[in-house]
Amino acid sequence: MGLQDNLHEQIAGLRRYALVLTRNRDDAEDLVQDTLAKALDKAHTWQPGSDLRPWLFRILHNTHVSNLRKQKVRADAAPDLPEPVMPETQTASMELKQVLGALDKIPEAQRKPILLVALEDMSYADAARSLDVPLGTFMSRLGRGRAALRTLLGEMKRGKLHLIA
Amino acid sequence: MTVPTPSQTDFDPDLHAYVDGRLSPDAAAEFDARLDGDPELRRLADAMIGDRDAIRSAADGLDTGPVNLRTAALERQLAQRLDRRRWQAAIAGPVSRQVAAGFVMFALGWGAHMALAPAGTVYPSYVAEGLGAHTVFAGDTVHPVEFTPETTVAALDWMSEKLKHKIDSPALDALGLQLVGTRLSGTREGPLAQFIYEDRSGNRLSLVVMPHPEGAPEAGLRVARQDSNSVGYWSDAALDFAVIADTSDLQIETVAAEVTRNVALSR
């Protein structure tokens, strides 16, 4: 696969990941665009011949953390403003809504490893590198996060309402 | 809701690798056998696979919008930037010093000269690069080429890959020009292949080939003079060409016609 096709595929992966991470189409697109703009500035740090994916995801993660920090500053500065209304996300079924809802309840440090291995065919080592954490920490967060997800989904299914999948 | 403390099983690296399909076939079969003997672990593995698939489906369900134009533009820019970076790294091999020396000469010599060229002498950038390459390398009778005619075939395959188009060394024997060898250089616009030919008296001619920018119009042959050199340049849908030699414009047109004929035959 040529570099152009490879990049196109990786950006589709970034968008997919960003959508699940932010749960908002505009935020996800902004995150992807910020990531690409930073990648343009940091093109000299990419080692030709190496996999583009961990390099791009690392930039995306750093951008995301930095955006969250900015959002927090804005939120702290305007405590009286009501929460913005997020557009309802189109989801195929109740089961998928439940999965997304459960993911939202998991701490972000655990959510990212779960999403990376579920959505991206990245090695654990590359995924850990893209998050700037040691492999041991990554595996520990993955294990903890998946256990939490299991528990949350189990509780949702045990609810009184019969939800149609 | 309280999340119970994860058990040791939750941290089993083999379990995660099994769920994520990252075990070798042998290791996966071994783990399968372990699951056969442990129904509880089998249930957990199946549930984790179900969760993973549900996350994938949810992501697919979210990702249905049209491609954003700004994202697409950034993607194009990044592809170009990375391609250039890849290209720069490709020439940073054993010949890098030679190439670097060539560009220093270009910058100090021909490049500076270009700045003094009469107003209105504006070439497409690949022609300027080609003129520089011709001035620096074709005149060098000791080390003018990277690939001799014998090694050119293998080099051309590599070049074809870099130029993203199959190129053959255009034989100009019919015009009495023998291939001396080829060079591959990097420019701001991308890779540049330079074929150096020689006539019976040792006069040199350069044929320069570069990938034609996507979406840019094709252009018919134009001939211009740069000092004693005549340069003929044209573009087809795939490649940009320039022929440069210290000769008459008419001879350059003849060579250009022969190159075009050869290229058409090889496609």
Provide mean pLDDT across the span A94-103. Answer: 82
B16–A143 C-beta distance less than 8 A: yes
CA distance B32 to B26: 10
**Cβ distance B252 to B231 under 8 Å?**
yes
Which structural domains are found in chain B, ordered by start?
6-125 (no CATH), 142-266 (3.30.200.100)
Task: Give tens-digit pLDDT for B76-102.
Answer: 999 988 888 877 666 554 333 333 333
DSSP 8-class letter at B176: T
B54–A99 C-beta distance less than 8 A: yes
Show the tokens assigned to B215. 């979406």
CA distance B182 to A161: 75
Q: Which of residues 64-123 of B touch A (CB under 8 A)?
A: 64-65, 68, 70-71, 74-75, 77-79, 81-86, 89-90
Contacts of B61 in chain A (CB under 8 A): 90-92, 96
B56–A43 C-beta distance less than 8 A: no
Write the DSSP assignment of A29-72 as a string of letters. Answer: HHHHHHHHHHHHHTGGGS-TTS-HHHHHHHHHHHHHHHHHHHHH
DSSP 8-class letter at B173: G
Contacts of B1 in chain A (CB under 8 A): 105, 152, 155
Q: What is the ipTM of this complex?
A: 0.79
**Cβ distance B241 to B199 under 8 Å?**
no
Instruction: Write down the pTM of the prediction.
Output: 0.54
- Per-residue pLDDT, B122: 61
CA distance B107 to B97: 15
CA distance B134 to A121: 47
Q: Which of A19, A95, A118 sits opposite B52 (nearest CB)?
A: A118
DSSP 8-class letter at B143: S
Q: Which of A36, A103, A117 sits opposite B20 (nearest CB)?
A: A117
Show the tokens assigned to B167. 């190129």
Task: Give tens-digit pLDDT for B178-202.
Answer: 888 888 777 767 778 888 888 888 8
Report the Cα B61 to chain-centroid distance in Å: 36
Reported as a pLDDT band with limits 50, 70 and 90, residue A78 is low
Report the chain A residue with the minimal C-alpha distance to residue B87: A48
Contacts of A115 in chain B (CB under 8 A): 55
**Cβ distance A14 to B89 under 8 Å?**
no
Q: Where are the alpha helices (DSSP H) in B149-197?
A: 149-163
A40–B78 C-beta distance less than 8 A: yes
A91–B62 C-beta distance less than 8 A: yes
From first to last of the 267 residues of chain B, give the pLDDT tens digit.
445 566 777 888 899 999 998 888 889 999 999 999 999 999 999 999 998 998 988 888 887 677 788 888 899 999 988 888 877 666 554 333 333 333 333 333 333 333 333 334 566 777 888 887 787 777 666 655 667 777 777 777 777 777 677 777 678 888 888 888 888 777 767 778 888 888 888 888 999 988 888 777 788 888 888 878 889 999 888 888 999 998 888 888 888 888 888 777 666
**Cβ distance B185 to B91 under 8 Å?**
yes
The residue among A1, A11, A30, A34 with the most chain B CBs within 10 A of its CB, best to mutate, is A11
Closest approach of A28 to chain B, Cα-based (Å): 10
Residue A2, chain B, CB below 8 Å: the answer is: yes
Helix, coil or strand: residue B206: strand
